Amino acid sequence: MKVSVVKNILEANERIARENRAIFDEKDLVVFNLMSSPGAGKTSLLEKTISALRGELRMGVIEGDIQSSQDAERIAAMGIPAVQINTGGACHLDGNMIRDTFKEFDFDALDLLIVENVGNLVCPAEFKLGEDFKAMILSVAEGDDKPAKYPLMFHESEVLLINKIDLLPYVDCSLEKIREEALKVNPGLSIFEISCKTGEGLSAWYDWLREKVKIRRALRKHQ
Amino acid sequence: MKVSVVKNILEANERIARENRAIFDEKDLVVFNLMSSPGAGKTSLLEKTISALRGELRMGVIEGDIQSSQDAERIAAMGIPAVQINTGGACHLDGNMIRDTFKEFDFDALDLLIVENVGNLVCPAEFKLGEDFKAMILSVAEGDDKPAKYPLMFHESEVLLINKIDLLPYVDCSLEKIREEALKVNPGLSIFEISCKTGEGLSAWYDWLREKVKIRRALRKHQ
């Protein structure tokens, strides 16, 4: 019984995610879903990415948190349209929550919509939002055993950003092992080693994202 | 409908947790449930705690992971009874999973049973296991905004271990702010600042745990 209820919830969510996706397609909006453990650096990555690409891409942000609105305030302070979702206890975003934000945005004025999910290395990976792709962050402070222990998110993501590499001298974490184990779970994963604090490695991520937006839009024209 | 299903799951879990607790009471076993984000240091804390207290307390460990058995192997390597639960995707332990491990233990040969939950700062806090108390770890690398953003676990725990304080010079994190925000959520919280890497602060945690076991057993005699 419990299993079939869960299955129904996931199926209902997939239907809503497909409807969201159709709207994004119609508006030629590229959308990605950014996931990680709490405190791995999602909001910091958004701040850096917005600063770097705001001259080229018109961006909007959906912030998902259990409660509080401090992340949306950080983004809105940059002059970027930002909508806060408070899940009221729920440990992930779902398609319905995303749809509820649509009335707050002018999608015709946006090229890229970034969804920052609730900080959780498990549940967000199970719920499609209608996004074009999923991205995830792992902080080196979390340790190099995480791809083997929490494989689903590594499997579902197109890109893995290994953040806080400035901490490498002070933690027991092998970048080699993260790469190796993550690629075992998902051989197609694009991996970047970055520090949102020092800026190291970020330009390669910006290039990847620029290219991804371009390719996604080009493919859409041929659909 | 969805809400009532969730309510039924939580109620069924509470019943099983009460049954587990009755068994722990009968065996005079003190049990705690250790929770945190992925990579905050749960297994490292267990290794340190076992090394420090093994001469005084007979300990056993239940390891909860989505998959893999590396944590149980780390503990078993210390000669401590350790049982691995693989949740197969589920993001938290529940009362039933705990009960399924009982046949693997000789509770008459144990004083303290430690349950290491799945790495997740959200869902594990919702599910009682029958434990005497909950403990949580926050790593300073996760940042000082976590009590406000993920309040339930801080609310449900009796003790908060702020780990990786050796990283404080390299991260933007205020211990004062963590303390202040955590105590806002839970004024009765006991807080320790520790480093499992350097050993700093651990002796105060050992003292607290020793005392907790003693008090719990004394209270049990008067029940």
- The CA-atom distances, in angstroms, between B94 and each of B127, B135, B211 are 6, 16, 27
How many angstroms separate the CA of residue B153 from the nearest CA in chain A?
11
Model-level pTM?
Answer: 0.92
| Count of alpha carbons within 13 angstroms of residue B187, beta-carbon side | 0
Contacts of A69 in chain B (CB under 8 A): none
Tokens of B97: 């999973």
Q: Which residues contact A172 (CB under 8 A, 6 or more apart)?
A: A143, B197
Identify which of B40, B37, B35, B44 has the alpha carbon closest to the alpha carbon of residue B197: B44
Closest CA to A163 of A60, A43, A32, A30: A43
Write out chain A residues lying below 8 Å of B91, CB-based.
Answer: 91, 120, 122-123
A68 φ/ψ angles, rounded to the nearest 5 degrees: 80, 160
In this prediction, residue A85 carries a pLDDT of 96
- A-chain residues near B141 (CB < 8 A): 39, 139, 141-142, 164, 167
- For residues A221 and A211, the model is more confident at A211
pLDDT at B99: 97
- Those residues whose C-beta lies under 8 Å from the C-beta of residue B216, and which sit 6 or more positions away, are B30, B132
The band of A1, judged by pLDDT with boundaries at 50, 70 and 90, is very low
ipTM: 0.88
Name, in order, each residue with C-beta under 8 angstroms of A221's C-beta and a sequence gap of 6 or more: none
φ/ψ (deg, to 5) at B25: -60, -45
Of A5, A37, A151, the CB nearest to B38: A37
The 8-class DSSP code of residue B190 comes to: E
Residue of B nearest to A139 (CA): B141
Distance, C-alpha B221 to centroid of its chain: 24
Q: To probe the interface with A, which of B74, B170, B181 has the most A CB atoms within 10 Å?
A: B170
Under DSSP, the state recorded for B63 is E
pLDDT in tens, B44-74: 999 999 999 999 999 999 999 999 999 999 9
In the structure encoding, which two tokens stand for residue B143, read together? 């940042």
Chain A closest-CA separation from residue B27 CA (Å):
32
pLDDT(B122) > 90 = yes
User: What SS3 state is found at A74?
Assistant: helix
Alpha-carbon torsion (B117, B118, B122, B124), positive or negative: negative
Sort A6 into a burial class: Cβ within 10 Å, 0-12 / 13-18 / 19+: middle
Q: Which of A9, A38, A122 sits opposite B2 (nearest CB)?
A: A9
Helix (H) or strand (E) holding B53: helix B42-53
Q: Do B122 and A118 touch (CB under 8 A)?
A: yes
State yes or no: pLDDT of B2 exceeds 70: no
**Nearest-angstrom CA–CA distance, B149 and A118:** 10
Best probe of the B interface among A117, A142, A146, by most B CBs < 10 A, is A142
- Cα-Cα end-to-end distance for chain B: 39
- Interface contact flag, A122 B118, Cβ < 8 Å: yes
Closest CA to A94 of A136, A132, A64: A64
The pLDDT tens digits of the residues spanning B10-30 come to 899 999 999 999 999 999 999
User: CA-to-CA distance for B44 and A145, rounded, in angstroms?
Assistant: 13
A66 Cβ neighbours under 8 A, 6+ residues apart:
A86, A87, A88, A89, A90, A91, A118, B122, B149, B150, B151, B152
Q: What percent of chain A has pLDDT over 90?
A: 92
